[in-house]
Structure 1
Amino acid sequence: MRNNNNNLTTKQLNILDRLKQILPFVADLAHGHAAIYIQAETAGKLCITATAMPHTVYMQDAAEAAAGLVDTLSEPLVTEVFQSAQFVHGKREQDYGHFVDMYVFPIVDNAHVIAVISIEVDKEHLNIDDFSYLIKTTQDVLNFAARDVDLAPFTPLSASDGLLITDQFSRIVFANAAAQRIYRVLGVGSLKGCHLFDRQLTRHVTRESFERERPWQKELSAGGLQLIRRQIDLQAGGTLLRRIVVLSDVTEIRAKEQEIRIKSAVIQEIHHRVKNNLQTVASLLRLQARRSGSEEVKSALSESVNRVLSIAAVHDFLSRQGRESMELGQIMAEIFAQVKASMVAADFDLRQEYMGETVSLPPKYASSLALVLNELIINAVEHAFTGRQAGLVGLTVELDEELWLDFYDDGCGLPTDFQPHKSRSLGLSIIRTLIEGDLEGRFRLENDSSGRGTHAYIVLPKPQAQGQVVASLEE
């Protein structure tokens, strides 16, 4: 699409970009469909570069015109403003026999109209007193935002936001229904004509908290309400023209956040106690192993200790992190360190590696896979590296339609006559029960194609489909 952007200076292009950024706020403020027009390179054409529908009122989808070229004949009011450089108020027939008000503002730089902003408002269904103040304020917002000022306060409004507008003396000249409803709860009747900082309006405020990075916004506690107060001072030449105050009632949101914090603290404490209880069980098993005179019993109890500590490691992590998920790579590292400390001889160099995607697991998956990894590492330590002084175990992770895990070692591989389904190994039985029964996945063992090492392939159901596993580089 060709337009005359090339005829605009860098400063004018910057003004145009700034107006595009605040267009949603403007649409919300004026309760109408907003559009930015510039002159097109093609004769008899205008170019719509941006549009925005309001969040503060319902408008028919038909009112929203897509960005693109339009004929000047179809936009007589916009064309008039390009020629006159003056604000125009007129009507547009939206549907047959149904007219909407059209407010058209020129954007002028160096006596040249660089763009025109139109706002179509269905005033028939608005029922807003003193609507003219919204239009005057919209004009001031456009002029103010076109300059090099902070645009952060001009975030979109919602239908439930309270809106106050003052004159240059901070006297309230406009208050929407939501603002009146909020102040009615605070025991204030009429707002119009009140000074914005009158004691009558502020006497119920019991707490204020400011945000350093957003000095124009603060949170208030007043009359049992939690309010976000956003203030925008519109100025020209250092003189205040008017103030816009937006009040957002976040009482329910803060109550939910508090409820979540309490539940999170309770869950953390539960994980902490479960971890302590499991470590107590592990200590009892160690004590029993030391009292036993049978090496076979000692070995079995030692493996049981590792199984219990595998689950304890998951709960320890969850209690420390304060969140209900644990990364698979972290589980691998924790279980590896635990097995190496308790099951590997001091002169044996056992290494581990992790490759692939970062995957976060909820407690059920984390506990089950911790046990699985514990059994796989122990199995590799006991059978894969006979007669060697070093070895490697690793885990490769892929997340596609399903979660694929490849646990491998560089050991001697499976015996030629080994049949996994006929094996009476307790470790393999635990692995198969957890993967196929608990996690509803698939499991198989096979030698590496090179003839060295073993692979344990684990396939689990698609994570997001069941809502049990979420993959991301950072939550």
Structure 2
Amino acid sequence: MMDNRIKRMLELVEYHTRLTDVDKEVISNLIQQIEITELHPNFDVFIDVLDSQKKSAIVVYQRPNLTDEPLYSSDLTGELINLENEPAVMRTMQIGLASKGVHATSPGGKDISQTVFPIHSEKEVVGALILESSLISDIVEKLPFAFDESSKKILEHDALNDFYNQLDHAAIIYDDMGYVSIANEPAKSLYRSIGYQNSIEGMHYDNISLDFATYEYMRYLFEVKKEQSQQHESRYLDYYLSTKIIWLPDTKRILVFINDVTKEKEQEQNIKKKSLIIQEIHHRIKNNLQTIVSLLKLQERRSQNAETKKALRESSARVLSIATTHQLLSQEIDGNVSLVDTVTSLTKNLQNLLTTKSDIEIRIEIDKSIVLYSEQLVALSLILNEVLSNAYEHAFKDKDKGIIIIKANQFQNKLTLVIKDNGEGYDVERVESSLGLKIASMYVSEALEGTLLTKSDVNGTMNKIEFTIDEE
């Protein structure tokens, strides 16, 4: 008979779950122990495991009460269990702590009492050992509640209790023995939503805590470690809960506030997902642009015309500047990039692409804290490309050495970017109609909604760009 039950368990686990061979062996050994030693003879005994989707549990073992009439006349092995009706089973599987004497509803609709122990394998909870008995009202009434009825009534009619009921989040007061003396309406509603159909008042901390701490451990933290409070976030089922636990030393009570932050967490997850999608888009754009640059370079090498070569090289630089920006954006999850990183990458690419002079020194004086979002970053990259390309091509024709300084200053949301060289200078009015300067001027005024000031003389050229940084 025992071999048949183990065989049936293995078949169900194989079909419905993702448990490993080690997990299966743990459950098999437990079944043998229950059968051979007649463990827990006064209870109907079950072993449940979560299905592969972890949305419901499946009964993989059942043994009826050995000393009294069994609760069930039929074999429930192989049945899927709605865990909303069995909060103790779900709680134990979720957090790995035992739940003792918790009210539940049987698959046949009976009111029952459940004590549930986690089944651990390789440090994970792989199932639950469930002991079930009839829920007898006189047994429930004899539970050792540490508060007396008179003090409870005073608390219930106190203004403090009214205050708790007006809170938007759950508030629970545990007495000095760890039993719930007061639970406000949001607390009752929260626990109903996760399967506790009866009132949680009178229940013990260890049966309803939704994290990994026991009542004794909390008392240890407060009384031995002298902590005043504990605060943490945890996940239970599909809920994200922010919990604050406060020690009331005068009465040795514990006050617990639970805030359901599920919507906020889901919004955070959605933002992260969208950010990852945007990152992937930037990565693909960068790859496509680099392909275009490769094709332009191929055309440049094949061309015999100097003007054509120059035009193709300048086009390559423009496309590469945009590709560089998308490369950086693909590495940032929040959609903004440090300006100094952008300028550093851009200048390296331009030095490799546009000049053969190794004695042009680039000095970048930009604080790491200055960041820009994608649209402004792409526009500024194109502007920098045109200004720097112009400097590489014209500023140092008759000089062996040169210096280009790029510096930025941010005051509140205003950014000033200066590109200055010590080259030969040029007549600004005469060359302002060049394509490169037209592109730079257009992007400053239209994309950045800023201003571009250019000054040039025999001591060099200075371009100053000013604009307002977007917050998003």
Length-normalised TM-score, structure 2: 0.58
Greater shift, 279-288 or 159-168, is seen at: 159-168
Q: Percent identity?
A: 31
1:410 is aligned to 422
For 2:379, which of 368, 375, 384 is the aligned residue?
A: 368
The residue number in structure 2 matching 1:232 is 246
- Residue among 421, 424, 429 paired with 1:419: 429
Counterpart amino acid of 2:465? I
Equivalent residue letter for 2:466: V
Q: Shift of residue 313 of structure 1? A: 0.7
Structure 1 segment 24-35 matched on structure 2, within 5 A: none
Amino acid at match of 2:239: L
Does the CA contact (< 8 Å) of 1:414 and 1:446 recur in 2? no
1:176 to 173, 181, 184: 184
Q: Distance in 1 between matches of 2:157 and 2:402?
A: 80
Q: What residue in structure 1 maps to residue 350 of structure 2?
A: 339
CA distance in 2, matches of 1:445, 1:173: 75
Q: Distance in 1 between matches of 2:213 and 2:437?
A: 58
Q: Show the counterpart of 1:455.
A: 462
Residue-by-residue CA offset, 1:411-463 (whole Å, 9 max, x unaligned): 11124xx415x644211111112112322222231126xx4111112222x33
Per the alignment, residue 236 of structure 2 pairs with 222
Q: 1:281 aligns with which of 257, 282, 292?
A: 292
Distance 1:358 1:229, change over 3 A: closer
Code of the residue aligned with 1:195 in structure 2: it is: H
Q: Secondary structure at the match of 1:170?
A: coil
Q: What is aligned with 1:264?
A: 275
| Structure 1 position 271, deviation (Å) | 0.5
Tell me what 1:167 maps to.
175
One-letter code of the match for 1:197? D
4+ residue stretches of structure 1 with deviation over 6 A?
132-135
Q: CA deviation at 1:235?
A: 4.4
1:280: Cα distance to partner? 0.6
**Deviation of residue 331 (structure 1)?**
1.9
Q: TM-score scaled to structure 1, two decimals?
A: 0.58
Aligned to 1:108: none
After TM superposition, the structure 1 = structure 2 runs for residues 92-111 of structure 1, keeping only pairs within 5 Å, are none
Report the equivalent of 1:302. 313
Q: Mapping of 1:61-80 within 5 angstroms?
A: none
Aligned with 1:314 (options 325, 331, 342):
325
AA aligned to 1:411 is G
User: Separation in 1 of the partners of 2:460 and 2:228?
Assistant: 58
Partner SS for 1:339: helix
Question: For 1:382-406, what per-residue CA distance to the aligned partner results, in whole angstroms no more than 9, with x for missing partners?
Answer: 1111222221112232334743222
Match of 1:396 among 397, 407, 420: 407
Q: Judge conservation of contact 1:226–1:249 (CA < 8 Å) in 2.
A: yes
Task: Tell me the equivalent position of 1:80.
Answer: none
Looking at structure 2, the residues matched to 396 and 407 of structure 1 have their Cα atoms a distance apart, in angstroms, of 7
Contact 1:216 1:231 in 2 (8 A): yes
Deviations 1:193-231 (A, max 9, x none): 111212xx36xx6x8699xx9993444433532222333
Flag structure 2 segments of 5+ consecutive residues without an equivalent: 1-154, 215-226
| Distance (Å, rounded) in 2 between the aligned partners of 1:209 and 1:274 | 49
**CA 1:219–1:403: 2 relative to 1, 3 Å:** closer
Shift in CA distance, 442/217, structure 1 to aligned 2, threshold 3 Å: closer
Query: Aligned partners of 2:471, 2:308: CA distance in 1, in Å?
Result: 37
Which has the higher Rg, Structure 1 or Structure 2? 2
Query: Structure 1 residues 429 and 132 mapped into 2: Cα distance closer, same or farther (>3 Å)?
Result: closer
The reply on whether 1:129 has 2:156 as its aligned counterpart is yes
Give the AA of the match of 2:374: P
Matched, 1:330 2:341: yes
Quick one: which amino acid aligns to residue 463 of structure 2?
A
Q: Distance in 2 between matches of 1:459 and 1:428?
A: 16
Deviation, 1:359, is: 2.5
Cα offsets for 1:75-128 (capped at 9, x unmatched): xxxxxxxxxxxxxxxxxxxxxxxxxxxxxxxxxxxxxxxxxxxxxxxxxxxxx9
Distance 1:181 1:299, change over 3 A: same
Equivalent AA in structure 1 for residue 446 of structure 2: G
Cα separation, partners in 2 of 1:186 and 1:353, compared to 1, 3 Å: closer
SS of residue paired to 1:197:
helix
Cα displacement (A) at 1:371: 0.7
| Residue 435 to residue 226, structure 1, CA distance change in 2 (3 Å) | same
Q: 2:447 aligned to 412, 426, 438, which one?
A: 438
2-side partners of 1:224 and 1:312: how far apart? 41
Match of 1:186 in 2: 194
